Amino acid sequence: MKLVIKEFGKAFSLGILIFIVLEIIQYLNGYRINSIQQFFTEFGYNQLYSVVLYMANAFFIFFLMKKYKGELFKTHHLTRGILGGIGITILCLLFLRFTTEVIIEGKTFSVFLTNEKLQYYYVSFIISAVITTIFYAVYYYRFTQERKVKEQKIIAGTASAKFDALKNQLDPHFLFNSLNVLTSLIEENPEAATKFTTSLSKVYRYVLEQKNKELVTVAEELKFAELYMSLLKMRFEDSIVFTISNNISNPEAKVIPLALQLVLENAVKHNMVTPSKKLHITIFEEEGNLVIKNNVQPKQVVKESSGVGLRNIRQRYFLLTNRAVQIKENDKEFSIAIPMLTQETKAMHIQETYISEKKYERAKKRVEELKGFYVHLTIYLIMVPVFIFLNYKSTGFPWAIFPIAGWGFGVMGHAMEVFNYNPFLGKNWEDRKLRELMDKDDFKEL
């Protein structure tokens, strides 16, 4: 109901503007209104036409937007919309002519049909066509801007997730606690402190060397897991029981780097680790997956998990293979199974295919934008001589200049958007504005 009232207000305001323009044109051609009654009669007819034509076309466009959503402005859907708008406009004009001539003025239906001429529809149809075109242009602009903002938000969100994943790959608490362990060992057991320091440096070296790789061998990742757990066991002493199966069928199979570190750190972070409540962590192979399993003994007070680590693992595997990361959890055990990829070339081929598909989608969208502009330009070039002809047949006042110039500005705006050219704000203004909007609170929630 609010939408109806809002659009009715727009239609009525637009009708007033049209009435003023038409009266100015008629005044310049020598036409005068002779009485208040004549003024209100013409104003009433004008508003009736304006409101009915606007509301019919507006809600038809709303229907198309709801039906086709993001695909409305594709060429074939837009063509259907334009043809449908023309049909609705013609039907509305017939209804309005019948209403004013037969119902309001009391003419018989036969007289109405006999006296109807095509020229009675010219002005109303042209005005309706111009207003509908502007309507489409406004909603197309809003649609493209919202789409660009959403795309930028997705890109920013992905980048932020990756950044957080890298930032959390070695939890700051782990480093802090490791340094505390190191401090204690220096005083109590210098030899163990030296060994601890060497292991810690190897952990960080592995992180720096492997974090940007797509895949590493299972043997490399398991070796790193043993090194990483040796640090944790020095910290928690005998409170962690860590077991790695020796029955790995293919140590040269591939997994994503640092996946084990993220899973092992999560196990320690979310569970109690004490001499009385030992944490048992096991790594083994099952059905072509590397499974990491631990017993569940939740901490009483633990900060809420962001889920960045597991989400990062899932997203990276999604880009490489159609085999999903499997997570199972109950009151006693938690396990995560990460796929062991036996053919790196196949996994990389899948990624290349994914990237190629994305490039194809972008290229296809670009072609659709170009087609939409050329269709718009063609319709405009066809309508220019039509406006001139109708102007020549109807009156000596050059009213055709107004729709031709107005529509022309719309075509220019469409061209600048499609070809990314803005002589006033600069080429990169849109990107700067998008970043500015995304920094505001209203745009932060996805």
Same domain, 246 and 329: yes
What pLDDT sits at residue 93? 84
CA–CA separation, 244 vs 254, rounded Å?
17
Domain end call among 340, 373, 406: 340
Identify whether 361 is part of a domain. yes
Same domain, 151 and 190: no
CA–CA separation, 93 vs 113, rounded Å?
14
Burial of 403 (0-12, 13-18, 19+ CB in 10 A): buried
Domain end call among 293, 312, 340: 340
Same domain, 102 and 125: yes
Identify whether 237 is part of a domain. yes
What pLDDT sits at residue 326? 92
Same domain, 39 and 152: yes
Same domain, 313 and 400: no
Identify whether 346 is part of a domain. no
Identify whether 345 is part of a domain. no
CA–CA separation, 120 vs 100, rounded Å?
12
Same domain, 368 and 407: yes
Q: What is the CATH classification number for the domain harbouring 255?
A: 3.30.565.10
Q: What phi and psi values does residue 102 have, to the nearest 5 degrees?
A: -90, -50
Identify whether 189 is part of a domain. yes
Q: Mention every residue, 6+ apart, whose C-beta is less than 8 A from residue 96.
A: 48, 49, 52, 53, 124
Identify whether 432 is part of a domain. yes
Identify whether 36 is part of a domain. yes
Same domain, 387 and 305: no
Per-residue tokens: 430: 């849109």
Same domain, 191 and 302: yes
Q: pLDDT per residue over 431-446, tens digit each?
A: 666 566 555 555 444 4
Q: pLDDT per residue over 392-413, tens digit each?
A: 776 667 777 877 877 787 788 7
Range of the domain at 274: 170-210+216-340
Domain end call among 289, 312, 340: 340
Does the predicted TM-score (pTM) go above 0.85?
A: no
pLDDT averaged over consecutive 10-residue blocks of the chain (446 residues)? 78 80 75 80 84 83 77 74 82 85 83 77 74 73 71 60 51 65 78 82 78 81 89 83 90 87 85 91 93 90 63 76 87 92 55 58 76 81 78 71 78 78 58 58 46
Same domain, 332 and 264: yes
What pLDDT sits at residue 152? 65
Same domain, 235 and 294: yes
Q: How many structural domains is the chain composed of?
A: 2
Same domain, 48 and 109: yes
What pLDDT sits at residue 177? 64
Same domain, 189 and 314: yes
Q: What phi and psi values does residue 343 have, to the nearest 5 degrees?
A: -130, 105
What pLDDT sits at residue 166? 47
Identify whether 351 is part of a domain. no
